[in-house]
Amino acid sequence: MNRINKLFKDKKDKILSIYFTAGYPNLNDTTEIIKTLDECGVDLIEIGMPFSDPIADGPVIQDSSNVAIDNGMNLNLLFKQLEEIRNITDIPIVLMGYVNPVYQFGYEKFIKNILECDLDGLILPDLPLDDYINEFKPIFDKENLSFIPLITPNTSKERIRQIDDNSNGFIYMVSSSSITGKKSSFDDKQIQYFKDVKGLSLKNPTIIGFGISDKESFKQACKYSHGAIIGTKFIKEISNGNLRESIKDFIASIRS
């Protein structure tokens, strides 16, 4: 049982996952952000691997990715920053990014570095499920790593069940068919989508992402899933001022 599985076994609801872009706002902020999130009691951490063309991300995360790249962030440096991360936190850590940088880095080298840093899972929104099953799943199963798939309101029930059958960790339930940071509330159609997915009684827990920005939207998302992911709003909050204080104040505003 990896950390992700243990988290969902021990905690059934109100899972708070925070996304940030590695190398933003400053190149060497990665470990400080993780340390502070740990101190604040966050349940799950998603580290964005900067990419020049992040198709699923809105302008805020796109900008953070561009800044991080300009700062000099790359996968070699990120893995170096994460070498001793387990001396800082035991929170589940997932890398999130896109296939192209992973392919350029080398699949085998990439997985080797994930294991050496004792990370727990991977999110690649543009990796087709069939490619995951053929290229990644055997080693992920062997090494007890979680591949986190995405579903959207356009994903059929049959496809969701296929994704569920081939996943081990949680399912990232995208709240709308749009980019990150687009909306900050849920309409009736989205609520029905959440209810429909919940009604499938999937074997994997679900976490809702896209459009979670404050205590109310977090609370609403948790009605229909095991928790929620906040990315765009978090990145906005750490863009200015004292990093640690900004993180503490923001997490407190969600948890209060």
Q: Give catalytic residue positions.
A: 46, 57
Instruction: Compute the C-alpha angle 66/242/51, nearest 5°.
Output: 15
Instruction: Return the number of other C-beta atoms located less than 10 Å from residue 136's C-beta.
Output: 19
CB 231 within 8 A of CB 16: no
For tokens 């609403």, name the residue: 220
Q: For residues 90 and 191, what is the distance between their CA atoms, to the nearest angstrom?
A: 33
Residue 37 Rama label (left phi>0; alpha psi -120 to 50; beta): alpha
Radius of gyration of the chain (CA): 17
Closest to 43 in 3D by CA, of 173, 239, 230, 224: 230
Find out whether 223 and 255 touch, Cβ atoms under 8 Å: no
Dihedral of the alpha carbons of 41, 47, 53, 55, in degrees to the nearest 10: -50
Tokens, residue 23: 């190398």
